[in-house]
A = this chain, B = another copy of it.
Amino acid sequence: MNASTTALLQQTQSLSEAVTRPIPGSRKIHVAGSRPDLRVPMRQIALSDTPTANGPQPNAPVTVYDTSGPYTDPDARIDLAAGLPALRAGWIAERGDSAVLDRLSSTFGRARELDARLDAVRFPARRAPRRALPGANVTQLHYARRGIITPEMEFVAIRENQRLEALADAGLRAQHPGQSFGASIPERITAEFVREEIARGRAILPCNINHPESEPMIIGRNFLTKINANIGNSAVSSGIAEEVEKLVWAIRWGADNVMDLSTGKHIHETREWIVRNSPVPIGTVPLYQALEKVDGRAEDLSWEVYRDTLVEQAEQGVDYFTIHAGVLLRYVPLTANRVTGIVSRGGSIMAKWCLAHHRENFLYTHFEEICEIMKAYDVAFSLGDGLRPGCIADANDAAQFGELETLGELTKIAWQHDVQCMVEGPGHVPMQLIKANMDKQLAECGEAPFYTLGPLTTDIAPGYDHITSAIGAAMIGWYGTAMLCYVTPKEHLGLPNRQDVRDGIMAYRIAAHAADLAKGHPGAQVRDNALSKARFEFRWEDQFHLGLDPEKAREFHDETLPKDAHKSAHFCSMCGPHFCSMSITQDVRDAAAAQAGQPPAPALPEQAIAEGMAGMSAQFLAEGGQVYQRQ
């Protein structure tokens, strides 16, 4: 091993403490399934007792969904150079419908393996890929349609329930009825329900047989709203170690999926490090690497180069491909009068190719051959919205909707091959036009999951597009979008750094959860109820721990009240000790409860009213009537 390899390994083997320290207040737990090798990770947040006049009242722990993988498990031994444990390997093998190959299938992959100049960056632990046996179809959709409940489906059902059935405090289940616009979300998710949703194409479970390290998850309207974070280098920024750390950072804060959108150096090698170490599904846009192979000249792309790239990436274990097969030649002129033309990288590359050759998009013309590849590994489609609007002015135009219609057509073809499929969406859309996007996608695409980028609800805030888009994302999630692709504060300005990744994820976890609440997703309000109860009772630590970002919440509180004593203070620096409304309310509530038994003030003679009131007044003051609740 040469010095460069050693250096890279040292870098990648030492994830920073910031990305691996346990999430404050949370304990990793595993919920057992029907077999010993099926253990579903979640996070449990222990809460302190509520002090009451009758002694301390315990607060049952709250369980939350956890995307952070083994990195936040103090019992896990992490070795980035070895990758994560292949938790699904047994399930894949026992299905008996795939085989380990003796070598890589792609020309590029084979050449890459032998290139000594890449030794310094290559992932050290070689693994031989799997592929479906001849004639076999290894997709979850194929199994689902044959009535088979896979271990992956069972895993997902347990995961989605978030142990609600075990929630000790029934009061936390109080929830406003939702408005789900026709979704069908059951009170309790069963493995059979998961199978059904996958079988009808309304949900996908992205899990390439070459990504056995992944913790299964599901994307669909009738499940928890999911989010995706983008990582990846570009020609002007970022190395492998940094991308791996970004991955671990992104899932720590709540990314359900990650797309590796690298366009710079060592795309193949970077991806190997990422997939081997990712507990979440990984998506890519194969066109980027294909373009790199033809030295950046879009017109030199060909089906052959692209096909080889699909196989190369499928054998690495990529779980879904964004494929811009809907950018048809006839749609391209419809972008001529747009304000921002084509903003999708993939879309603009294919548009350029189409015009250079004056031929139909080869991704479209070769679509069924793509399906043959996807079904041999269980890679899901993410049908790319290459013609999405890149500004408010271009929203909902003919180019965008024309492509959406074609994506609907392609969805049906994918389903004929039992290939899992989701459909990408906008973009930049003003609020009053958002619902039309959801309605059209439902109509055109047979309820395949919708996966949008925002949308941004205005163009005028570069530097804050995580916010302009969180607004649109929350709304379109409410209307039925299954996964929301995050946008960071760096959108339109540059490659995001770690702080931007965190900010983007927080904005999107908020949007996804706001959508779940609005849909009335069973149990969604538990966390809000638990946190608000902790807030009202001044259990500051509990409030921080239940929040999406416990570290930030504590940091902000401590900026003005840093001492430990402040963590039991019945105020914060916003209002100080005299003016804290929650403090005052404690007393108000006690007195009001005492009074609540009283009928509404009747029409009494004035003297009787005055006497009655004076009596109540004296009673309230006698009971203490103090601003501070006694400890």
A475: Cβ under 8 A from any B Cβ: yes
Nearest residue, chain B, Cβ from A347: B581
Number of copies of this kind of chain in the complex: 2
* A291-334 vs B, Cβ < 8 Å mask (1 yes, 0 no): 10000101100000000000000000000000000000110110
Interface string of A467-501 (1 = CB under 8 A from B): 11011001100100000000001111111010000
Residue in chain B with minimal CB distance to A507: B467
Residues 311 to 365 of chain A near chain B (Cβ within 8 Å): 329-330, 332-333, 335-336, 338-345, 347-349, 351-352, 355-359
Q: Is the CB of A586 within 8 A of B462?
A: no
A residues 516-559 touching B (CB-CB < 8 Å): 517-520, 525, 527-529, 531-533, 535-536, 543-544, 546-549, 552-553, 555-557, 559
Contacting pair B263 A510 (CB below 8 A): no
Interface contact B344-A581, CB-CB below 8 Å? yes
Q: Known contacts A517-B392, A586-B341, A595-B355: does B348 contact A575 (CB below 8 Å)?
A: no
How far, in Å, is A296 (CB) from chain B's closest CB?
4
Q: Mark A436-462, 1 if CB is under 8 A from B, else 0.
A: 000000000000000000000111111
Bound-state CA distance A276–B167 (Å) is: 56
Q: Give the docked Cα–Cα distance between A580 and B471 (Å).
A: 26
Query: Is A579's CB under 8 angstroms from B263's CB?
Result: yes
Interface residues of A in 109-141 (CB under 8 A from B): none
Q: Of B234, B349, B391, which is within 8 A of A573 by CB?
A: B234
* A332 touching B592, Cβ below 8 Å: yes
Q: Could you tell me the distance in whole angstroms from the C-beta of A565 to the nearest C-beta in chain B?
A: 13
CA distance A329 to B513 in the complex (A): 36
Chain B residues positioned under 8 Å from A60 (CB to CB): none
Task: Indicate whether A359 sits within 8 Å of B471 (C-beta atoms), given known contacts A392-B525, A578-B296.
Answer: no
Of B299, B518, B576, which one neighbours A621 at CB under 8 angstroms? B299
Q: Of residues A264, A333, A532, A555, which shows the largest number of chain B Cβ atoms within 10 Å of its Cβ?
A: A532
B356–A625 touching, CB < 8 Å: yes
Kindly identify which residue among B348, B531, B552, B556 contacts A581, using a CB–CB cutoff of 8 Å.
B348
| Chain B contacts for A614, CB-based, 8 A | 358
User: Are B517 and A431 in contact, with the CB atoms below 8 A?
Assistant: yes
The contact string, 1 if C-beta is below 8 Å from chain B, for chain A 414-425, is: 000000000000
In contact, B532 and A391 (Cβ under 8 angstroms): yes
Q: A340-B532, A464-B552 are in contact. Are A576 and B235 (CB under 8 A)?
A: yes
Knowing that A431-B474, A458-B528, A463-B549 touch, tell me 15 more A-B residue pairs with CB under 8 angstroms: A179-B432, A236-B560, A355-B588, A355-B620, A358-B612, A390-B532, A431-B478, A459-B528, A459-B535, A461-B549, A463-B556, A464-B552, A466-B467, A470-B471, A495-B560
Interface residues, chain A, with chain B CB atoms under 8 Å away? 174, 176, 178-179, 234-237, 263-264, 288, 291, 296, 298-299, 329-330, 332-333, 335-336, 338-345, 347-349, 351-352, 355-359, 390-393, 395-396, 430-433, 457-464, 466-468, 470-471, 474-475, 478, 489-495, 497, 506-507, 509-511, 513-515, 517-520, 525, 527-529, 531-533, 535-536, 543-544, 546-549, 552-553, 555-557, 559-561, 572-582, 584-589, 591-593, 595-596, 600-601, 612-617, 620-621, 625, 627
Q: List 22 A-B residue pairs with CB atoms under 8 Å apart, sorted by A's residue number.
A: A296-B578, A332-B595, A336-B592, A340-B585, A345-B580, A348-B588, A349-B584, A351-B592, A358-B612, A358-B615, A391-B535, A431-B514, A458-B510, A458-B517, A459-B531, A460-B546, A461-B547, A462-B556, A464-B549, A464-B552, A470-B471, A471-B510
